[in-house]
Structure 1
Amino acid sequence: MKILITGSKGFIGKNLVAELYNIKEGKVKHKGLLSAISILEFGRNTDPELLDVYCKEADFVFHLAGVNRPKEQSEFMEENYGFTSKILSLLKKHNNTCPVMISSSIQAELDNPYGKSKKAGEDLLINYSKETGAKVLIYRFPNVFGKWCKPNYNSAVATFCHNIAHGLPIQVNDSNVVLTLVYIDDVIQELVNALVDETNQQGSYCKVAVEHSIKLGEIVALIESFKESRSSLQVPNLSEALTKKLYSTYLSYLPEDQFSYPLKMNADDRGSFTEFLKSSDRGQVSINISKPGITKGNHWHHTKNEKFLVVSGKGAIRFRRVDEPSEVIEYIVSGEKLEVLDIPVGYTHNIENMGDTDMVTVMWVNEIFDPERPDTYFDKV
């Protein structure tokens, strides 16, 4: 199966090409789509004569090429209509009636130069289908966002992510404007499905199955919270689908010299304790380092519960039930055998480094530490 992709170096094109190569190389399996595919990329820097060859050989065409920020308004029609016309003419020249998908826009319904050029391209495709019998797929995309989208171009999300990540100002004219968004991975899933005739067809047009609606001001607030999370250590609520997608998108715009960020190590002669991640509903994760011979803890909790995982060194974790006389329970732990210990409520507990090197323990607790209600009571094991 030979797949022609115009605009292969654009935002959607790059993501589609990457996923098709994943399928081709067997890294991703897709129901009904075999790895025996050939990807014909056509972009601005491709030899123009190859377009004729590709239109002759193609078994499916993804027409993603187009302009939305030209220097002259006349370029809208020249590129979005003219180039579409050229592709269809070449397909007809070779009697190639393979399916053709075109990337249009919800602005095709609007009376502006960009929208008019997109609508003209749609009409071309509809007439081409009537004339040749070829299957055509017209996608009127709303605002598409995700990795590799060019900032300060035509995507508010890309601009906000880039500028906030780089400490640059942003401009919001009306924070109450509601945007309809589609995530690039959902777009690519829809396009790959189209190759095996599984499209989300609604009337004359196709749509991405998953859409999100959100106010512009809410997008900005979320992205700003992503930046602040490095200092607050608060992980976003990733159970919310749009938040998860926006957070992944934001991270793709981080400056390459700022992938890392420091944590506050509370260190003394016993070792150190460092908070790593916090979540309002999933508690927090910290890293505890104990020096050889050091014992930490000797406290218990009413409701707060923890999990300990020693990842380096060796030691012992001990427990004693506090409401009645009981024997001390001991678990030997080591980085050589990773196992998680639950720390039940009502048991005073400690952890001792019994080795010759630092012992490193990953500690999870079910709630973020509240100094007003620490729920921690000293009682030697």
Structure 2
Amino acid sequence: MKTVLVTGAYGFIGRNLVASLNRREDIEVMKIDSKNSLQELEEYAHKADFIYHLAGINRPENTEEFMTGNLGSTQHLINILNSTGKKTPILLSSSIQAEQDNAYGNSKRAAEEAVSAYGHQKGARTFIYRLPNVFGKWSKPNYNSVVATWCYNISREIPIQVNNPESEVKLVYIDDVVESFIAALDTLSGTYSSDYYDISRSFNVKLKDLEASLVSFKMSRNTLVISSLKSDFERFLYSTYLSYLPENNFGYDLEMKHDNRGWLAEFIKTEHSGQVFISRTKPGITRGNHWHHTKVEKFLVIEGEAVVKFRQIEGEEILEYPVNGLSLRVIDIPPGYTHSITNTGTTDVITLFWANELFNPEKPDTYYLEV
């Protein structure tokens, strides 16, 4: 079993990394943050077979604290390791700001140089990651992440500020970061130059596009139209947005259209993959009796008993497909067949429907004709 020390374990990256490491039966995780004592740090550093050094400062009250929080904490950890005589591998979470000549960048670059020197002097393996903007669940809003801040604000209808909509930001997803970090522990290999490693996948996005995506996620509760989520970035961003919803606002209501047959409600709409809706139908009631030129659908009864009937619009033969909620069976609705679904039981029927296109009242492609 490997004993792993994570400093900054309760920060954004630390929490995600520890959550993944804790799933491993071959790893024991020791966690350190600012609340732990120096004695605890020394004890854990002596035990560790591998160290993730994620602790640091990026929003101090004065700029002098950058060196203390970034270089100072790193050098203290290295001093502890030097006293042990061990060649403990270290992975340092740094920032692309290390390439800039500012107080924060200088402190991160100095921490990198300290780790690199330790590795060369001791013959220990070191991994230095100059991370761009990382996004994902558990990042702190209104701190140092535009994605976290905008997800938090937009989900709460708090205005956001976009100074230059055309400017691009380089982003990496937290799961990719964690995967790369754990690969370093497992294989001691990766894409690197000297001691420097990169996350294999990144995303460059304009601020105006980032804002538009997040606003569309917000509006989807009203429109029911969900982004196609075709790209990995869109999927990751949507997951991230949902992680910032207020805890008292996870749920939202659907509009239920009631009539003498029961009710029907739209659930999810997509611009390219159609829509899903659900209905409750009373005993003896028939829905449908219409056909489509191009639109196709799928019916799935999940409760109750029913029969789906078809007739080719120019024919006379009626096809019947009995369905019930005890043995789930999906019924495809081809174009050119008038069709209906009738509740043949003594209890209400609950049916899920999928259509391959959004309903357009100006061009419904739905024509009444009894089966």
TM-score normalised by the chain length of structure 1: 0.95
* Cα distance in 2 between the residues matched to 1:139 and 1:51: 22
1:174 and 2:174 matched: no
**Where does residue 34 of structure 2 map in the other structure?**
44
Measured against aligned partners, the alpha-carbon deviations of 1:294-337 in whole angstroms (never above 9, x if no partner) come to 011001111100000000111111011112x3311111111111
State which of 51, 55, 59 in structure 1 corresponds to 2:45. Answer: 55
Structure 1, 157-166 or 41-50: larger mean CA deviation: 41-50
> Alpha-carbon deviation of 1:203?
4.5
Higher alpha-carbon deviation: 196-205 or 358-367: 196-205
| Residue in structure 2 matched with residue 186 of structure 1 by the alignment | 176
The one-letter amino acid of 2:64's match is S
The answer as to whether partners of 2:228 and 2:273 remain within 8 angstroms in 1 is no
Alignment-derived partner of residue 199 in structure 1: 190
- Aligned-pair Cα RMSD in Å: 0.9
Aligned partner of 2:19 in structure 1 is 18
Moved more, 129-138 or 2-11: 129-138
Partner amino acid for 2:98?
A: A
Question: Deviation digits for residues 60-99 of structure 1, max 9, x if unmatched?
Answer: 1100000100112111000100000000010110012121
Instruction: Tell me if the contact between 1:13 and 1:64 (Cα under 8 Å) persists in the aligned partners.
Output: yes
Cα distance in 2 for residues equivalent to 1:264 and 1:203: 59
Q: Which amino acid aligns with 1:2?
A: T
Q: Is 1:317–2:318 an aligned residue pair?
A: no
Counterpart among 324, 327, 333 of residue 337 in structure 1: 327
Aligned-partner Cα distance in 2 for 1:96–1:173: 50
CA contact (8 A) 1:55 1:96 kept: no
1:101 is matched with 91
Residue identity opposite 2:287 in structure 1: K
The residue number in structure 2 matching 1:2 is 3
1:293 aligns with 2:294: no
Question: Is the contact between residue 51 and residue 91 of structure 2 (CA under 8 Å) also seen in structure 1?
Answer: yes
- Measure how far apart 1:148 and its partner are: 0.3
The number of residue pairs the alignment matches comes to 369
What is the alpha-carbon distance in structure 2 between the residues aligned to residue 13 and residue 199 of structure 1? 20
Structure 2 distance, partners of 1:213, 1:272, is 45
C-alpha distance in 2 between matches for 1:153 and 1:49? 30
Aligned to 2:261: 270
Note if contact 1:190-1:200 (Cα within 8 Å) is conserved in structure 2.
no
Contact kept? 1:310, 1:333, Cα under 8 Å: yes
Aligned residue number for residue 371 of structure 1: 361
2:116–2:126 Cα contact (<8 Å) kept:
yes
Query: Which residue of structure 2 lines up, in the alignment, with residue 69 of structure 1?
Result: 59
Whether the 8 Å contact between 1:163 and 1:170 is mirrored in structure 2 is yes
Q: Note the alpha carbon deviations across 1:92-135, whole angstroms, 9 max, x for none.
A: 10012121010110000111110000000011111111211111
SS of the residue 2:38 aligns to: coil
* 3-state secondary structure, aligned to 1:49: helix
Q: Is the 8 A contact 2:126 2:195 kept in 1?
A: no
Structure 1 residue aligned with 2:233: 242
Whole-Å separation in 1 of the counterparts to 2:191 and 2:304: 55
Structure 2 equivalent of residue 258 of structure 1:
249
One-letter identity of the residue aligned with 2:54: L
Counterpart CA distance in 1 for 2:254 and 2:38 is 53
Residue from 229, 238, 243 that aligns with 2:220: 229
Give the Å deviation of 1:43. 0.9
Preserved CA contact (<8 Å) 1:303 1:345: yes
Q: Which whole-Å CA distance do the structure 2 matches of 1:223 and 1:204 have between them? A: 36
State the SS of the aligned residue for 1:228. helix
Deviation at 1:370, TM superposition (A): 0.8
Residue 98 of structure 1 aligns to a residue in which SS?
coil
Q: Which amino acid aligns with 2:318?
A: V
Unaligned runs of 5+ in 2: none
Match of 1:28 in 2: none
Q: 1:85 maps to what in 2?
A: 75
Q: Which residue of 2 aligns with 1:32?
A: none
CA contact (8 A) 1:290 1:359 kept: yes
Do 1:61 and 1:101's aligned partners in 2 also have CA atoms closer than 8 Å?
A: yes
**In 1, Cα distance between equivalents of 2:240 and 2:213:** 12
1:304 paired with 2:305, answer: no
C-alpha separation between the residues in 1 aligned to 2:228 and 2:305? Answer: 35
For 2:354 and 2:193, the matched residues in 1 are separated by 47
2:63–2:103 Cα contact (<8 Å) kept: yes
Offset, 1:260:
0.8
The SS at the match of 1:181 is: strand
What's the CA shift for 1:199?
2.0
Answer whether contact 2:312 2:338 (CA < 8 A) is retained: yes
State the alpha-carbon separation in 2 of the partners of residues 124 and 204 from structure 1: 12
Structure 1 match to 2:206: 215
Cα deviation, residue 200, structure 1: 2.3
Deviation at 1:48, TM superposition (A): 2.4
Deviations 1:6-50 (A, max 9, x none): 000000000000000122xxxxxxxxxxx2211011111123211
Distance in 1 between the 2:103 and 2:244 partners? 30
Question: Sequence identity, in percent?
Answer: 47
Matches of 1:22 and 1:77, distance apart in 2: 35
Q: Residue 147 of structure 1 aligns with which residue?
A: 137
Where do residues 323-362 of structure 1 align in structure 2 (5 Å cutoff)?
323=314, 325-362=315-352
Structure 1 alignment gaps of length 5 or more: 24-34
Counterparts of 2:195 and 2:120 in 1: how far apart (Å)? Answer: 13
Question: TM-score normalised to the size of structure 2?
Answer: 0.98
Asked if 2 retains the 8 angstrom alpha-carbon contact of 1:298 and 1:378, the reply is: yes
